[in-house]
A and B are shown apart, each in its own frame.
Chain A
Amino acid sequence: MKRLHACLIGALLLAGCATQAPPPGTVVAADRFGQLVVPGRTTRADLLAAFGPTRSVSFDSGYQAWLYSAGAAGGQSGELVLLLDRDGIVRKMRRRPAYPTDGQR
């Protein structure tokens, strides 16, 4: 019994040290995204209204990178990444498709 407790405590400690993979961005329809998002014009408020909040990284420069996921039927999703400037305006956009090797580890 003591050994079982020791194992459980060890497992809990290990689980505490592990960090979960960051969640992917909010899933959006790529077509709608392409229609609504225009670099130089679309704002942070526009994005939140149309697609909702998503995963983002903020930099010391005031810029932000936002990540949305483009849902795919095959299970693997592509990425839609936006660069927002200090004024909250989309400056750049890129689409990354899902590659066949993405799932390999």
Chain B
Amino acid sequence: MALPMRGLLGSVMMVNMVALAVLPVHAQETQPATDATPHPASKPHTVTVTSTRDPVDKSYRKMIRGMERFERAHALAPRATLRFRLLPRLPTVDMRGITLKVVGDRITVPVPVAEDNGFTLPRNEQALREDAAVIANRKTTSMTWRAQVVTPGLPPDTRRLGDLRLECLVGVEAGLVSNSAPLFGWIASALNSPEQVCNSADGNFLFFTERPLFSVTLRAGERTEMLPFRMLYAGGDQTRDELQYCDCQVMLDRTYFAPIWDRSWPDDTLVSFEYMEDGPAPAPAPTEGTP
């Protein structure tokens, strides 16, 4: 089994630390001018601000491109459907009651969010023309996003490798992963095509399970292999300081790399999980937090 080099994520994190030193200056320069002082000599202007866009909000155009990629690469998972999913990025984020909308210059389209924080995105030509953003009622950096491609009828606690391959292609195309500070995230996404990320052992695309993970096993016909330790827990070599740049920050024990780049494993390969706690998944407990 080909294994990922662990250097890339570390290098990205190092670059991010430099980025953080640079970004405040950049942010100051790009702050819109605000002037609350009235101008009695001039006629007052009324400006209605329906919403504010964060520079790292998800791009509606990109997410639609991700949906188009799903259609083009559907052969990887012919029976699967596509959703997107919101996941926690910070320990303080309250993942209950999230609302989502597509916001352009003149258009706002509400997007229903399911209880598991999954959603599908409607196609809207005006929102595309207006280069709309997909905005949640949470701080952008408090959550991460993923595509979710699931073939129905799989055994419990399993995923299908072709589904994961497609999740990677869609996720990168849609610009969902946020492992970087904003500026460098933009540069990274400009330099890395979905093929470069998803077809490379160094792509470092992270997947998450629903529960804390102990072991991952691949099965294809007679072939069975357990994933090595370094493909779990984002490589298992992140320091506390480095983790803040990984969107696995609060899901480290649910994080794994799947060998999506390794074509010796067919799309129908079953990826099965053994969790830290045996038995059925516990009911989700209410969590304390702030939006």
Contact = CB atoms under 8 A, between A and B. Distances in A.
Interface of A: 17-22, 25, 55, 57, 59-61, 63, 65, 67, 79, 81, 83, 91-92, 94, 96, 99, 101-102, 104-105
10 contacts: A19-B11, A63-B253, A63-B276, A67-B236, A83-B276, A99-B1, A101-B1, A101-B225, A102-B1, A105-B2
B200 to A, nearest CB: 11
Nearest to B230: A22
9 closest A-B pairs by CB: A19-B10, A22-B237, A59-B253, A57-B236, A96-B226, A101-B1, A19-B7, A67-B229, A17-B11
A92 B235 CA distance: 20
A25 B229 CA distance: 10
A22 B2 contact: no
B253 A61 contact: yes
Residue of A65, A83, A92 with most partner-chain B CB within 10 A? A65
B102 interface: no
Nearest to A56: B236
B253 A105 contact: no
Q: Please report whether the interface of chain A is mostly helix, strand, loop or mixed according to DSSP.
A: loop
B164 to A, nearest CB: 19
Contacts of B214: 65, 81, 83, 92, 94
Contact of A21 (B6, B91, B233, B253): B6
Contacts of A60: 91, 250, 252-253
Given A17-B14, A101-B1, A57 B250 contact: no
Contacts of B289: none
B264 interface: yes
Interface of B: 1-3, 5-7, 10-11, 14-15, 91, 201, 212, 214-215, 225-226, 228-230, 232-233, 235-237, 250, 252-253, 264, 274, 276
B236 A22 contact: yes
A94 B226 contact: yes
B106 to A, nearest CB: 43
A60 B237 CA distance: 15
Contact of A101 (B2, B91, B237): B2
Contacts of A104: 1-2
A80 B7 CA distance: 24
A63 B212 contact: yes
A25 to B, nearest CB: 8
A51 B65 CA distance: 52
Contacts of B215: 81, 94
Contact of A22 (B6, B264, B276): B6
Contacts of B226: 94, 96
Contacts of A57: 233, 236, 252
B229 A79 contact: yes
A18 B5 CA distance: 10
Contacts of B5: 21
Given A59-B212, A83-B214, A105-B201, A22 B235 contact: yes
A21 B233 CA distance: 15
